[in-house]
Chains A and B, each alone.
Chain A
């Protein structure tokens, strides 16, 4: 198993780094130091592991999806992150960072959210540990994820609508950064994915790699375990669920496939596929593949899934891409919605629209996956998306 770290400048190869304004540098240095101390402290791990076990419900199960397997002609397994408390993998990271917040003596956290899952997970960890919580969310996402907005407010968080730009995840990240710049002495920024300036991509990967670590136990191929996978598939927006499941399997011979949002189609220009169709640049503090024009202005992303509607992805994914350690593909809104419906009927599990992108790729690639053992990281459950999909269906019926 690999266990490498970014270099001293926070880089994975030529990606990553710490492109942050001076105001934030001391806080980033403090965070890195606090993380290093905590991560080598058995007491911190004991506290986090106890919460994972009894609050989150880890390890999350692996499920053999028999009807989907039949449909695809491969043995398809699901890593059930949708069963984690709050309904997605996001809680793995927010609990870890909330504990770090306490250790740094800060009393408030700020977060951005796209689909609302990270916002809910941050609000949950904040309620658990008695921290104040502020969540920035794009106005467009507030509309399409109304249920999660109400959940955050129930949990005591203040949800602030962002009307700038396309009013989606990118704009929410920018506003959360601005809030953090103004309040950095009392506030920690719980970033929701493997993005941002160093040390965020590293820290979030460390908290999320529990997904892949558990899977190595659950699918070791040893007697009493499931067979070893040939292919692991995960959706990629910022890329935390994918990095979480990929990292412990890097260079193990398993084909790692990250599925980005092709939105209306790559040729339409309206998509979120930065690794497939972007170029290297600096977005939100790190050098990574992103959507930009010739002048380096950021191009708005598009996806039916709020969690994949982001013009960049984590720097470590950019590294994986260029080193050939994982490969990245994209599926359209239409394919993802079709998979959302088909998967619900086949398996009795409503997937998050983000995770439905991974399912859609497996359905599309059935021919090349024939006979293989395939794992889909079912990163979240789809309850939050039901209203949006129903409304879209209504439009079609009308």
Chain B
């Protein structure tokens, strides 16, 4: 089965169980490369269905202060792109869960698009998300992914119009990342009011799975997203718990209880 097919199967099986897929995000190499895999194993045991593994980047335009800080810490701790791919391979092998790599475009170009996607395949990743590009600049990357059976994830924002939505789904994304709140990643006190509208607009043109992310900080907000979407991504709320922990063991404990609460909010 290709990475893309594995993810499609995950959405199908969750759907038949009447629940949404929970995909926690965590920066790779956090708190340091040695303890990074343990974070993901803990989340897998606590009920994560798949992972968004974030490659740290020096200038993450789509991320708020929490993920920015995490990225700088991971880079500081020695998480190069090569280390990132090593860790992805370990995470995929140890947890057995589908891994989606999330990065910014410049590291992909620095490594080379084809080489980068080849490494994804070698590491056993299922899909790729590039945060700072959209349809218009994704063609070369989606072509490289499609050739190698790696899924590509496109974004849909509250600002995306219907014509553009058609262009986006026409690129055959493995799922669509619905930006629940205008803005960068980070926790929000208020739940989003855009979920239903976004879901309805997308459903009018396509059946592609819809996964909500950005600004989902607690199980109540996650439940609201799970009610109308096929999956939920939580990032900053989990990354913060790792940053606030004094030891990797504390981080594992904190992640385990947080992920448990989010995962149980996925049932519709």
Q: Within the complex, which residue of A22, A281, A296 is in contact with B160, where a contact is CB–CB below 8 Å?
A: A22
Q: Chain B residues near A185 (CB, 8 Å)?
A: 159, 182
Listed stretches A53-61, A95-103, A170-178, A220-228; interface member = A170-178
B41 at the A interface (CB under 8 A)? no
Closest to B154 in A: A22
Tell me if A182 is interfacial: C-beta within 8 Å of chain B: yes
- CB of A393 within 8 Å of the partner chain: no
Q: Is the CB of A25 within 8 A of B136?
A: yes
Smallest Cβ-Cβ distance to B136: which chain A residue: A18
Q: How many of B's residues come within 8 Å of A, CB to CB?
A: 39
CA distance A27 to B160 in the complex (A): 10
**B61 adjacent to A282 (CB under 8 Å):** no
Within 8 A of B (CB), among A101-150: none
Bound CA span A285–B57, Å: 15
A283-B106 Cα distance, complex, nearest whole Å:
8
Bound Cα distance from A83 to B225, whole angstroms: 56
Contact with A along B133-161 (1 / 0, CB 8 A): 11111000000000000000011111111
What is the distance, in angstroms, from B10's C-beta to the closest C-beta of chain A? Answer: 23
B157 touches A23 (CB 8 A): yes
Among candidates A177, A178, A292, residue contacting B110 with C-beta atoms closer than 8 Å = A292
When each residue 298-328 of chain A gets 1 if its CB lies under 8 Å from chain B and 0 otherwise, what string results? 1000000000000000000000000000000
Q: Are B134 and A25 in contact (CB under 8 A)?
A: yes
A21 & B182 in contact (Cβ 8 Å cutoff): no
Q: How far is the CA of A154 from the CA of B86 in the complex (A)?
A: 53
Whether A17 touches B137, Cβ cut-off 8 Å, given contacts A22-B179, A184-B159, A295-B80, is yes
Q: Does B166 contact A (CB under 8 A)?
A: no
A5 within 8 A of B: no
Contact A26 B164 (CB under 8 A): yes
Chain A: CB-nearest residue to B179: A23
Q: Answer yes or no: A20 CB below 8 A from chain B CBs.
A: yes
CB contacts under 8 Å to B, within A249-293, are: 281-285, 287, 292
List the A residue with the shortest CB-CB distance to B57.
Answer: A297
Chain A residues near B109 (CB, 8 Å)?
281-282, 287, 296
- Once A178-B61, A182-B182 are accepted as A-B contacts, the answer to whether A21 and B131 lie under 8 Å apart by CB is yes
> Is B62's beta carbon under 8 Å from chain A?
yes
- Which of chain A's residues have a CB closer than 8 A to the CB of B154? 22
Contact status B59-A182, CB under 8 Å:
no
**Cβ B184 vs Cβ A19 within 8 A:** no
Q: How far is the CA of A181 from the CA of B159 in the complex (A)?
A: 10
Pick the most buried of A18, A177, A181, A292: most chain B CB atoms within 10 A of its CB: A181
The docked-state distance in angstroms from the alpha carbon of A18 to that of B132 is 10
Contact with A along B182-196 (1 / 0, CB 8 A): 111000000000000
Contacts of A27 in B (CB 8 A): 159
Q: Is A9 an interface residue (CB 8 A)?
A: yes
A182 touching B184, Cβ below 8 Å: yes
B107 proximal to A (CB < 8 A)? yes
Name, among B75, B156, B159, B179, the residue most crowded by chain A CB atoms within 10 Å (CB to CB): B159
- Please, which residue of chain B has its CB at the minimum distance from the CB of A164? B68
Residue on A nearest B80 in the bound complex, by CB: A295
Contact B179 A281 (CB under 8 A): no
A19-B105 in contact given A184-B182, A295-B80 (Cβ < 8 Å): yes
Q: Is the CB of B106 within 8 A of A26?
A: no
CA distance A54 to B157 in the complex (A): 43
A 230-266 contacts with B by CB, 8 A: none
Q: How far is the CB of B188 from chain A (nearest CB, A)?
A: 11
Q: Is the CB of B159 within 8 A of A26?
A: yes
Instruction: Give A177 to B64 CA distance when docked, in angstroms.
Output: 11
B58 within 8 A of A: yes
| Chain A, Cβ-Cβ closest to B131 | A21
Shortest C-beta distance, A219 to chain B (Å), equals: 40
Chain A 31-69, CB-CB to B under 8 Å as 1, else 0, gives: 000000000000000000000000000000000000000
Chain B residue, CB-CB nearest to A17: B137
- Residue on A nearest B75 in the bound complex, by CB: A297
Say whether B111 faces chain A, with CB atoms less than 8 Å apart.
yes
What are the interface flags for B37-64 relative to A under an 8 Å C-beta threshold, 1 for contact and 0 otherwise? 0000000000000000000011101101
Q: Which residues of B contact A282 (CB under 8 A)?
A: 105-106, 109, 132
Q: Could you say which residues of chain A place their CB within 8 Å of the CB of B160?
A: 22, 25-26
Please, how many angstroms separate the alpha-carbon atoms of A182 and B68 in the complex? 16
A359 to chain B, nearest CB (A): 32
Contact B184 A18 (CB under 8 A): no
Determine if B81 is an interface residue (Cβ-Cβ < 8 Å).
yes
Is the Cβ of A21 less than 8 Å from the Cβ of B58? no
Could you name 15 residue pairs across A and B whose Cβ atoms are closer than 8 Å?
A: A21-B131, A21-B155, A23-B183, A24-B159, A25-B135, A25-B136, A164-B68, A177-B61, A178-B184, A281-B106, A282-B132, A283-B106, A292-B110, A295-B111, A296-B107
A residues bordering B, Cβ < 8 Å? 9, 17-27, 164-165, 170, 174, 177-178, 181-185, 281-285, 287, 292, 294-298
Known: A182-B182, A281-B110. 12 other contacts (CB 8 A): A23-B155, A25-B164, A170-B59, A174-B61, A178-B64, A283-B106, A284-B59, A285-B132, A295-B81, A295-B107, A296-B107, A296-B111
